[in-house]
Amino acid sequence: MGVIPKNLTRFPAKLVCYTTPMINEKFVLVGAFLNIIGSGTYAWNTLQGRTKPNRVTWFLWALAPLIAFAAQLGEGVVWQALMTFMVGFGPLLIFIASFMNKKAFWDITKLDVACGIISIFALVLWFATGTGTVAIVFSILADLIAGIPTLIKAFNQPETEHHSVFRNGALSAAITLLTLKTWTVASAAFAMYIFVICAVLYVLIRFKIGKYFVTN
């Protein structure tokens, strides 16, 4: 009977799927450029008063990805983490720009409080377990909860939002996914989430889907 290799005598520490990347990982830089263009456009529209961002939402949309970014670095993710950083950096720019816009507002809801608590919980669990994957999962949950008011506003009042930031966010996430050599929670989960939520927001705003459901 042959000897079982030591590295096969127990389950791996984390689920890993190996694939052949469709494009070079440095294309993530293209995605980062798209992100900053989209965020810059939204920030400019905010400065011009053409959008009315909720400061709480955009602050939380900056916080959760930046936590996930730090966790990805801790898990050894490098190139794909750049997209996560830009997803947090862009909202931070918009949050800062909102203070130049009289139409911007603070609206702290129960969802925002829950998002903040989850973000803090993600940090606590990360430091307690030393596992960045935990922080990434909770950061995704926090980001989604923070986005619910914007999803509702994009459905009911698409004219108060600008679609380019979400279009570029979806494109950036798609590029990031195409560069993956290994699919893990650390490398792929945040990009997959960003692709879905940005694509949904883009469609709601660009095509004003909500108006087709309004009853007179």
* Pair 104, 52: CB distance under 8 Å: yes
Q: Is residue 7 part of a domain?
A: no
Q: Residue 215's pLDDT is what?
A: 57
Q: Residue 190's pLDDT is what?
A: 94
Q: Is residue 66 part of a domain?
A: yes
Q: Is residue 9 part of a domain?
A: no
pLDDT digit string, tens, across residues 20-58: 888 999 999 999 999 999 999 989 998 988 887 878 888
Q: How many helices (H) and strands (E) does the chain have?
A: 7, 2
Q: Residue 5's pLDDT is what?
A: 41
Q: Is residue 10 part of a domain?
A: no
According to DSSP, the residues that pair with 54 across neighbouring strands are: 105
**DSSP one-letter string for 125-192:** HHHHH--HHHHHHHHHHHHHHHHHHHHHHHHH-GGGS-THHHHHHHHHHHHHHHT-SEE-IIIIIHHH
What is the mean pLDDT of each successive set of 10 residues along the chain, which is 216 residues long? 40 62 91 93 90 82 91 92 94 91 77 78 78 88 84 89 91 95 92 96 94 72
Q: Which domain holds residue 204?
A: 22-210
Q: How many domains in the chain?
A: 1
Q: Residue 18's pLDDT is what?
A: 73
pLDDT digit string, tens, across residues 50-75: 887 878 888 888 988 999 999 999 99
Q: Is residue 215 part of a domain?
A: no
Summary mean pLDDT of the chain: 85
- This prediction has a pTM of 0.82
Q: Is residue 4 part of a domain?
A: no
